[in-house]
Structure 1
Amino acid sequence: MKQQQKAMYKKIIYISFLLLFSFSIQAQDKKAKDLLDQVTAKVRSYDNIVIDFKYSLNNSRENINQDSKGNVTMKGNQYVLNFMGVTKIFDGKKTYTIVPEDEEITISKVNEKEDNAITPSKMLTFFNTGYKYNMDILQDVKGRKIQYIKLIPTNAKDQRKEVLLGIDVQTKHIYNLIEMGKKGTKTTLTVNSFKTNQPLSKNQFTFAESKYPNYYINKLD
């Protein structure tokens, strides 16, 4: 896959785990903390979550405007992500990246010690440190009340200026996540469909090599 696709994939996986596991943040803004606690409790009450989403990347300086759609099915730390024509499966131990365009499959283990490894444990701790946060605007979106929480990175080297997390006040589900980069890049993930406790196949998160007889399989570990 191209580097840009890989970067977008990492971001989608990170946001997906964020949606699934949510977060526990040290109180800086009580109202924001209370709302996030409600989101956490609601999300953790589900056996599984299936999300259809839209991902947008915009940078007016570079004249970049890209929109993509995808979906992800999650249960515990397992997931199946379909995005930009590529399927990524994580069965809890290994990641399988399936690229039909190249007829190639990459299999790799997840090393939680690696800084760039996208793992559930890191998603759980993403917001624990390194951010100041507070309640932001309350917005009406097609009849839905969306409360935004603004997060500001405390690390001056962070390339993100701020992160806005939109939460549906009624359902306590995450509606969207907006990242504003210091160099003018804006990325937005919007949840189009949020389904829970769906009937999943027992092999939902199992990679079956027999389905890809002509694919080149690259085993990294």
Structure 2
Amino acid sequence: MKFKIHILYTLIATLVFIFSSTAQDKKAKELLDEVTSKVKSYENIAIDFKYSLQNLKENINQESKGNVLLKGNNYVLNFMGITKMFDGKKVYTIVPEDEEVSISNFDENDENAITPSKMLTFFNKGYKYSWDIPQNVRGRKIQYIKLVPISPKDQRKEVLLGIDIQTKNIYNVIEIGKNGSKTTIVVNSFKTNQPISKNQFTFVKSKYPNYYINNLD
């Protein structure tokens, strides 16, 4: 009799766990959908961010800052001394240190290609997700969603996506690598619908008179 009761308790506990996990996954999906909807509602987005990479095994500890301006499919990304610009047709990679500009066609089928949607809604494809812990960051409630890559080839073990519950904007992204590395991006400033120049995403060759233009296509 005790054995049967134990089995019954185990079964109930299992069912409760399954129901709870399903409910949490549903909550996670609903929150991610809200973030996606919010991102798509903006005319443009300007972000200043902090980037850090840590790997204790390799004794790596790097920090850097960057910024990105997004509008539709166009963007200008400044990071680690390099500017990457997309005007809707071509990608321009500007490297001041080498005085070089590389120009290439955008390949939408390239999984590594950067697009605004991938920057801020990357989580909509290729991950299993679940509701994770909440945190209070200087008075802001940040809810974390755990993302686990589906592809076994992915070198990331998991990704923690921190979302500001009040604004539904991304606060930070923490990637844990299978090699023990930890990459963190924290959004320091998130501005929307800013007044921008008509030619904001247009590459002007005359601004780089001494640069080598490397046309890759």
Place the TM-score, normalised by the shorter chain, in its bin: 0.7 to 0.9
Tell me which of 150, 155, 166 is aligned to 2:151: 155
Q: CA deviation at 1:86?
A: 1.1
Match of 2:3 in 1: none
1:100-154 CA deviation, whole Å, 9 max, x = no partner? 1111111111122334333457669854443221110000011110000001123
1:201 paired with 2:197, answer yes
Q: Distance in 2 between matches of 1:43 and 1:172?
A: 9
Count of residues in Structure 1 that have an aligned counterpart in Structure 2: 195
Q: Distance in 2 between matches of 1:75 and 1:115?
A: 20
Q: Distance in 1 between matches of 2:137 and 2:115?
A: 32
Q: Distance in 1 between matches of 2:204 and 2:134?
A: 46
Within 5 Å, give how 1:66-85 maps onto structure 2.
66-85=62-81
TM-score normalised to the size of structure 2? 0.84
Q: Distance in 1 between matches of 2:211 and 2:165?
A: 46
Tell me which of 92, 97, 104 is aligned to 2:88: 92
Match of 1:19 in 2: none
Q: CA deviation at 1:197?
A: 0.4
SS of structure 1 residue aligned to 2:88: coil
Identity %: 76
Structure 2 vs 1, CA of residues 196 and 60 (structure 1 numbering), >3 Å: closer, same or farther? same
Q: CA deviation at 1:44?
A: 1.3
Tell me which of 136, 142, 150 is aligned to 1:140: 136
Match of 1:58 in 2: 54
TM-score normalised to the size of structure 1? 0.83
Question: What amino acid does structure 2 have at the position aligned with 1:99?
Answer: V
Q: Distance in 1 between matches of 2:34 and 2:111?
A: 30
SS of structure 2 residue aligned to 1:34: helix
Question: What amino acid does structure 1 have at the position aligned with 2:170?
Answer: I
Match of 2:182 in 1: 186
Within 5 Å, give how 1:116-135 maps onto structure 2.
116-119=112-115, 126-135=122-131
Tell me which of 172, 180, 193 is aligned to 1:176: 172
1:34 paired with 2:30, answer yes
Q: CA RMSD in A?
A: 1.9
Q: CA deviation at 1:155?
A: 2.6
Q: CA deviation at 1:29?
A: 1.1
Counterpart contact for 1:28–1:132, Cα < 8 Å: no
Structure 2 vs 1, CA of residues 205 and 100 (structure 1 numbering), >3 Å: closer, same or farther? same
Q: CA deviation at 1:209?
A: 0.2
Q: Distance in 2 between matches of 1:115 and 1:146?
A: 29
The structure having more radius of gyration, on CA atoms, is: 2
